[in-house]
Each structure stands twice: as C-alpha cells, then as structure tokens.
Structure 1
C-alpha cells in the first residue's frame, strides 16, 4: 500500500488527497475483466470453428452500476482544476475513468463503441507528424510481412515452451532484476490473453505453448515496462495513482511496451503483422463485419483456429457480434508504438534524454512527462527506481536514436538501385 501524501508539502497536499479519492473511486472499475469471455466458451467455440461450424457465440455480461462512481469522478475533475500540472493530470485521469465507467455501463451493447474510441482512438486517426493514418500503417506492415514471407521465414517460430516451464524461467530472471519475490509469475487457465502483467504478478495462459520470441517479448513488454512502471509508480511520494494504468495512458503504456520490444530486439515482422491485423479487423467490425467474418479474415491471413478466434474475440469484447460495433483497445498498440517512437526521436534531437527516463517513473502519458516536468525537478515526483535494461545503456540507445533521426531524412522514393551499387 502506497504512503503517497505522507510528508507532502502543504501546497501540494490537496492534490495527494484528490489522488487518494481518485484511487478509491476507480477501485471497482475493471475494464478487461468486465468485457472478458469465459475460457470454457472459447474452448468450445474454437473446437466448433475448427470443424467449420460457424455460429455466433452467445456471450453474456454483468453490467455494473457505476453512477455513484461517475458522480465522484466528475467532482474530482472539477476540484482538481487545470491551473497546476498536477491538477491537470488528476482532471484528465478522472475524465478518462468517467468515460470508461460509461463504457462499462453499456457492456453488451453497441454503446461500448463510442467511449472505447474516445479512450483508444479509431483506426483512421492520423499519425502525429504524418499525413497517413494508423490504418495506413497497419496495411503497410501487413503487406510488408506478406512480401517477406514472415510466416514461413521466421527463425524462432517453434512454440515448444510449456507455460509452467516459461513461468519458472521468467521467475528466475525477474528475481535477479527486481529482487526475490518482487514479481510472481503464475499460470492462469482462465486468462483470455496469452499473458498479462500487473505490478507484482505476471500471468501466463494455461494450456498454451510459447516460443523463444514470446519469452523475449514477455520480458521486454510485460515485465520491463508494465510491471516496472507499476512498481516505480508504487514508490511515488505524492501520486499513488501513478501505479495504476488509467484509460488515458493506455496508448502510451502499450506503445512504450511495443517500443521496448523493438529496442531490445524482441520483436519480429510477424508480431507487427499480428498487431496490424487487429487494427484492420477493428475497422472491418466498425464497417459492419460480424464475428464470423472477422474470424475468417484472421484465418485467411495465416492464423490457426485458436489464434483467429482469440484475435476476433479481442475486437468484439463487450459489444454485439453482429457487426457495426467494436472494442477499440487494440488500436493503441501500433498507434502508440509510432507515437512513442516519434517522441523518443524528438527527445533525442532536442537533447532531452531526461524526459525519456521520466517516462518510466509510473503509468504516465507522453503529455504528463512534459507537463509535470516542474514537479520532477522539485522532487515531488520521484525519478524511476528501475529502468529497462535497454534504457540503462544510454550510449547504445543514443546510437539507435541518432541513426533513426538521420536516416529518416533519406527519402526512399528517390533512391535508385544503380546509385546504391555504384557508391560502394
């Protein structure tokens, strides 16, 4: 339990108190568990779909009553104000949780779609600094992956690591990095995703075999970003909410986690294809495709029956399966990656590596790292205790970013093969 607020200067005490109110208010808001499907239903439907028996799954949801929570969040938003960056942080966070509450109160209906887009974006949204959209980027990575034959040429596609073996391997690595027992690794047969991470626990889906790439991705993505930022957030002296992922920081946190895969060499083109296909599927669902059509879309693009079902299920969490609605969370993985990558390049170009380190001090959005800079400088917000391994080697990171910043100025449409071959 955080002791945020203890020893806080009097001028900041009201923000610590509002932060505690915020945490108390959102305790009952659990987005993914509310929209999750039972594992038993998934197993039954996957077997049926694998035999070609396509019927829409029948999914029921428990719709929560969050009216009192929404009222409290609206009050926190008003009282926080926007004059100080701390107040702005709290107001933005309360607002995003309020939108999430509205979304969950509509679970099982198309009413989930609009608030999920407000929180996670739409596939057609423009990429910052570009005239192209997230949807354009998704199409690019899928096409590139297909051209490279990634599904056939990947050098580590053997999924032969059982969940319990991977659990033990990850536990040893994390004990060595964070300290013995700081993060537990567990096998959960009811988990919908292949893996999920909190501050002190990483869960692996039971009955699932993992590959070497999965192992690297779990460490880079789940452990050294999601768990790491949560643990750093727990150590904050003022804002205890920095240990919890508010809806408004999801895009930055997931983008940072995928960026960490990129920086640590734990991502391959097949992974980028999977992320991109989900964005195309969200767009399909919004345009009217039903669950079976989206499932077939994944099957036609090389996924097996189980992966295709799970991928389609992610798009239709909490919404009707008949088309025209979607749960937009998977939009953030690619859009977040592109935005975080651009932010890292910008910070390097501006000689602001300090901003990049601050990004790991808790569950922050990119906006927060910049706006809260005075409170980082004063010590009201503590620097991160832990940094991912790739962030600890500043010269190596600087080398990658320096190359990226310069190489971006080369316009590929102007490159001629003859010019390249004559120059060397």
Structure 2
C-alpha cells in the first residue's frame, strides 16, 4: 500500500509540473485574429473589395516549456501503468502544440495542427469511409432538404446581453449561484467560448433559438461541466484543462450532447461539414478569397462566410496550401463519440459513459483508467448533463440506432414501405 501511495504521489507531482509547464501555451488566443480587423475586412468583402488578409501574430517563447514537457513525457513513461501513459500522451500533445506556436504565421503550422486535430481524409473508426465522405453526405442532405444557412444571419434573435442574463440564471440553478459567470466579449471572434468558470458570448451577435439551446448543451453542459468536474479531482488536476489531445473527444461529446438534447439542426451539421470541405480546399491550394467564395456559394451570408474562412486560416498564410485543422474535429469527434456510446451499450459498460464527464478525457482514457475510477484515485463526475441522467431514455435512443443502422437504405424502395404499413 505504501508503494502504491508513493506511486500516486509521484504521478500527482508530475501532473502539477505538467500544469505549470503548459501555463503559457494558449493555442486559440495565439492564432486568433483581432475582432477589429475582422470587422473591417467583412465590410470590405461585403462591398466586393476582395484581397488576401495580412495578419501579424505574436510568437510566444516556449523553449523552456518544450524542454520541461519532454522531461515529463520521459519520466511519466518510466512510471508505467495507465496513469503514466495518460501523462506522457498529454505532455506529448502539449509539446506538439508548443512546436506549432513556435512557427505561427507560417505554413509549417499545418502539419502539427493535423497531428493534433486530424486530416479531413482520415478514416472514421468502424467504417471504410472518411471524415470527408461524412462531410459531403451532410452537405448534400442539407441541400436536398433546402436548409438554408443565409437565413441564420437574417433572422432576428436574442442579443448577447439578453442571452447572457438568461444563461446566467440557468447555470446558477444547475451548478449553484455564482459558480459560472456569463460575459459579453466584443473582441471574441467565435460566437461563444467556455471555460471552467466563465462563458463568453460575442458582443453584437444575434442568437436564435437553436443557438441558445446549442450553447447551453455544448458550451455550458459539456465544456464547462467537464472542466468543473476536473477541478474536483483528487489526483490529476490536469483533468480540468483541455489538452490538445482531448479536443476531438471534447468537441465530439459537445456536438453529441446537442444531438441527444435535441439542440442540433441540419444547418448546424451542414456548417461543420462545410468547414471540413474548406480545410481540404485550403490544403489543396485554395486561398482565403477562394475559400470565402466557397462558403458564400454554399449559402452562408457575408459575415458567416468570412468567420468560417478565418477559422480555416488561423495561424497560417492566407495564400493557399496551408490550414489550421481544428475544425476537422467537430464531425469526426461526433461520429467517434456516437460510435463509442453505441459500443458501450453493446458491451453493457454504461459506467464508461459517465466517466467521460469526470474531466477532460479521451475515449481511450476512460477505458484505460477504469481501474483508477474504481479505486477512487479518479473521482466520478459531480455533475452530469440532464440527458445523461435518463439512462433508460439514452439506452433506448442508442439501442434503436444500433438496430436501424443494420437496415441498408440502398435495398429499400417505396413499394416495400407501402406493403409494410
């Protein structure tokens, strides 16, 4: 028992060193564009004045962080066991992120971003098809259904200030008064961003009903919730921090939460799918203006088209042949998380699904670390999203999807359906 306690203490010490080493590694703030620049360029594009944006990035000095992360990676592997492997993989992903930020503003950002977030052509687990195939499918389906994207910009909705007040009341009721604050940030380029104790909304943005439900299900009840659960951990404080290696699972889980809570629509699936197609276009040589025109021709308005294009070219030159691959994770993560939930149901291992919310974990982490959940070294989640609280309803949805996925639509015609009524 003393040896076990000593090992856990050493893991906890390495974990604290990891957190200290990564304090200065801020991926999205480093590659973000100033909102003032975006607003000026959007006005130019709306007026038909197209030019490749020129963005200056501030490169952080992360040499000491990289050296420390390499040391932690080696020492963690020396520990052996699932906890050591977790720390080693986490340190490795932060090191790759640091190397990426060392070359921010150059095409060299592309490869490390693909290492961290994947490539559009990557194969979906359990399938011979790729993320790119899935993106094309959802875009084509949305087009067939006539789900227009431009309407989103034109629709009047709730202001950021009104949504802030509404979300603050909801989160006070769910997490406890004052635990999570909601703020309006005029410099935020994304529509929303969530941390452990603060959710920011983009100033000046308008939020429709789907936006409101998506932000609650996605940002608050996954990203914020898992961060708060991570802060409750007795051993691994790093479970409160989103390391690069957990991004795909985190974003996939958040979009899956939208699906389970009825907060997602086909236009949302089309939007995240178009971003994958856009990454592929940029990698193939399309420049900023060409990718913008792709989004605009797909039905997005001027501002949305610009914001979507900017996401593809964060941290890289805008002349084509380079891309920031993070938006690859939303659809690939959704498909992989959905498959994991179905697998856990099939294997009667529903406890693994609850573990996913105990902190910032990957799908493989919850399997590998199960003994440490059972021993109490890793605490179960204090909070779960409401849809996870209804186990029978969740199991019913997943069981149904497992069965109907065996029906091959290519073998179904209208006559068969008529006879079956």
Q: Shared topology, TM-score over 0.5?
A: yes
Shift of 1:320: 0.3
Q: Does 1:313 align with 2:310?
A: yes
CA distance, structure 1, for counterparts of residue 7 and residue 307 of structure 2: 49
SS state at 1:204 partner: strand
SS state at 2:22 partner: helix
Taking a change above 3 Å as real, the CA distance of residues 416 and 155 of structure 1, as seen in their structure-2 partners, is farther
- Structure 1 gap segments, 5+ residues each: 1-7
- Aligned residue-pair number: 417
CA distance, structure 2, for counterparts of residue 61 and residue 155 of structure 1: 31
- Structure 2 gap segments, 5+ residues each: none
CA distance, structure 2, for counterparts of residue 423 and residue 139 of structure 1: 31
Shift of 1:411: 0.9
CA distance, structure 2, for counterparts of residue 10 and residue 389 of structure 1: 38
- Maintained 8 Å contact 2:159/2:207: yes
Superposition RMSD on alpha carbons, in Å?
1.4
CA distance, structure 1, for counterparts of residue 205 and residue 151 of structure 2: 20
Pairing partner for 1:254 from 229, 251, 270: 251
- Maintained 8 Å contact 1:159/1:212: no
Q: Which residue of 1 aligns with 2:374?
A: 377
CA distance, structure 2, for counterparts of residue 154 and residue 283 of structure 1: 26
Q: Which residue of 1 aligns with 2:18?
A: 22
Q: What aligned pairs does 1:156-171 form with structure 2 within 5 A after superposition? A: 158-171=155-168
Q: What aligned pairs does 1:28-47 form with structure 2 within 5 A after superposition? A: 28-47=24-43
TM-score (norm. length: structure 2)? 0.97
CA distance, structure 1, for counterparts of residue 155 and residue 189 of structure 2: 21
Shift of 1:157: 8.0
TM-score (norm. length: structure 1)? 0.97
| Per-residue Cα deviation, 1:71-130 (whole angstroms, up to 9, x for no partner) | 100000000016210000000000000000000001000010000000000000000010
CA distance, structure 2, for counterparts of residue 159 and residue 316 of structure 1: 29
Taking a change above 3 Å as real, the CA distance of residues 157 and 45 of structure 1, as seen in their structure-2 partners, is closer
Taking a change above 3 Å as real, the CA distance of residues 157 and 342 of structure 1, as seen in their structure-2 partners, is farther
Q: Which residue of 1 aligns with 2:285?
A: 288
SS state at 1:9 partner: helix
CA distance, structure 2, for counterparts of residue 64 and residue 152 of structure 1: 37
Shift of 1:159: 3.6
Q: Which residue of 1 aligns with 2:404?
A: 407
SS state at 2:281 partner: helix
Taking a change above 3 Å as real, the CA distance of residues 316 and 153 of structure 1, as seen in their structure-2 partners, is closer
CA distance, structure 2, for counterparts of residue 61 and residue 30 of structure 1: 13
Q: Which residue of 2 aligns with 1:361?
A: 358
Q: Which 4+ stretches in 1 moved above 4 angstroms?
A: 152-157
